Amino acid sequence: MINIARPLIGQEEKDAVLKVMDSGMIACGQTVSYFEKEFAKRMGVKNGIATTSGTTALEVSLHAMGIGFGDKVITTAYSFIASTNSILYVGATPVFVDIDVRTFNISIDGIRMALQEHPDAKALLVVHLFGQACDMNKIMELAKEFNVKVIEDCAQAHDAEWDGRKVGSFGDVAAYSFYPTKNMTTGEGGMVLTNNEEIAENARLLINHGMKIRYQHEKIGYNYRMTNIAAAIGLEQLKKLDNFNEGRRKNAEYYNNNLINPLIDIPFVSNNAKHVYHQYTIKIKKEKRDALIKLLEDNQIGYGVFYPFSIPEQPAYAGMGFKTEWETTDVVKKQVISIPVLPSLMEEEIRTIVAVLNDLE
């Protein structure tokens, strides 16, 4: 079986975990602090606050910015549901926008229309989907024009860039995930990044029961602290991120050069973007996706359909009054399929995948 995803854990991570366990300090401590500093430095941001997951990182990001009950947050209709759940967790209201047909990221024209229609919107939450950077220059121009805050969901975009600058360093705050399928992992975990000292202080309070001084609670907070065990894994993974991403990009380049089936559209990449291929997501023409799925399954090749539903049409959101029909999302969701691009792919495996895709009729 050729897997669609698999965490790459080496002896370095195992040794780091054992060192933490032998120290007796396995909860949140100095190892977490070091990981926060190293990850923030890597992304070109002043402050890092480690959390239990990418979802809690998003929730904390919004809460720390002051987004709360009744506030409107403009976001994409096409992503993993955590992007929008985090908005609901803080009592805010998502305002959905359609996507760009080429990048699958939030539509810039759609953002402008939503901001014009909702002049009271407080924030914009953008998702760098599948490792593809959003057009952050235009997004930040719109944010300035309409005076809204920007949250970058970088859960799938570790080290992705726009115009030579890393995503996560543009907005007021950014959130990362270290789930096992991501470009780097801590097992479970997340990270809030921000250059804003007030947001950083709020985030640190929120993840730690609102405590700055032990047993003195400044606000109602949560237990969203990362463990030293997770951070130890993260530090070793961070050292390997360049190699991980280079492997993904090399595999993507092979696909780009060798997928010649006219039924397949390979991923579009803007000249301004550095794609890190959390997923290599193709589009299948002429309603042939089911046929391709059967081919992949017959040849024991893993795949993913991310995502078969728009967020607003999820059953959990039924009755909330959201628009559920989208001109671009409703087409794309029926065409896309992601194929293995993980850096551990063997040459024989990637050749097999290409041969199977090129055989689709």
**Could you give the count of Cα atoms lying within 13 Å of 82 in the half-sphere of its Cβ?**
20
Of the chain, the end-to-end C-alpha distance in Å amounts to: 23
- The whole-angstrom separation of Cα 108 and Cα 188 is 32
The domain 241-358 is placed in CATH, from the list 3.90.1150.10, 3.40.50.970, 1.10.287.70, 3.40.190.10, at 3.90.1150.10
pLDDT band at 28 (very low <50, low <70, confident <90, very high): very high
d(Cα 99, Cα 103) in Å, to the nearest integer? Answer: 8
Distance, CA of 78 to CA of 30 (rounded, Å): 37
The tens digit of pLDDT for each residue in 268-302 reads: 999 999 999 999 999 999 899 999 999 999 999 99
d(CA 195, CA 202): 13
- Other CB atoms within 10 Å distance of the CB of residue 331: 13
11-236 and 241-358 in the same fold:
no
CA distance 130 to 157: 7
- For the beta carbon of residue 346, count every other beta carbon within 10 angstroms: 9
Q: Kindly state the tokens that stand for 136.
A: 């952050």
Q: How far is CA 242 from CA 174, 236, 237, 348, in A?
A: 20, 12, 10, 23
The Cα–Cα gap between 319 and 35 comes to 42
Domain boundaries, the chain: 11-236, 241-358
pLDDT at 84: 98
Q: Indicate the pLDDT class of residue 165, thresholds 50, 70 and 90.
A: very high
Segment 42-67 mean pLDDT: 98
pLDDT score for 35? 98
User: Other CB atoms closer than 10 Å to residue 238's CB: what's the count?
Assistant: 20
Residue 106: what residue type?
I
Tell me if 12 sits within 8 A of 228, measured CB to CB.
no
Which CATH number is correct for 11-236, 3.40.50.1110, 3.30.750.24, 3.40.50.2000, 3.40.640.10? 3.40.640.10
Average pLDDT value for residue range 39-44: 98
Q: For the residues 310-332, what does the mean pLDDT come to?
A: 97
Give the model's pLDDT for residue 21.
97
The tokens for 325 are 């029909």
Q: What percent of the chain has pLDDT over 70?
A: 100
* Structure confidence at residue 162 as a pLDDT band (50, 70, 90): very high
143 close to 150: Cβ distance less than 8 angstroms:
yes
User: So what's the pLDDT on residue 257?
Assistant: 98
Q: Please state the pTM of the whole predicted model.
A: 0.97
